[in-house]
Amino acid sequence: MDMYGDKEPEMTNQQKAAILFITLGPEYSAMLFKHMNDEEIEKLTLEIANQKQISPEQKRAVISEFYQMAMAKSYLSSGGLEYAQSVL
C-alpha cells in the first residue's frame, strides 16, 4: 500500500528482478549478471533503467519473496519438503 492507503499494482517478474538488483547494489548485481545470457542482461538492464521511484514497501516485498523462494528451493533440493511447506 502507498501512503494514501491505495494498494500498489502487481509487479511483473521483470520488475521484481530489477528491484532486486537495484536493492542488492552494483557489487552483488555484477555477480548475478555473470550467470545470465546477453538477452537476459539486456532485458533486465532496460527494466532497471525504466524504474522511477521504488518504495520501501516494494523493496521489502521483493526481498521477502526472493528469500522465501530461495529457502523453499534450498529445502526442496535437500529433501526437506515437509519443512519447506511449514515455512511457506
Cβ neighbours of 67 (radius 10 Å): 10
pLDDT at residue 22, rounded to an integer = 97
pLDDT at residue 45, rounded to an integer = 97
pLDDT at residue 72, rounded to an integer = 81
pLDDT by residue for the chain (88 residues), tens digit each?
555 555 667 899 999 999 999 999 999 999 999 999 999 999 999 999 999 999 999 999 999 999 999 888 776 666 666 666 666 6
SS3 7: coil
Cβ-in-10-Å burial (0-12, 13-18, 19+) of 56 comes to exposed
pLDDT at residue 83, rounded to an integer = 64
DSSP state of 15: H
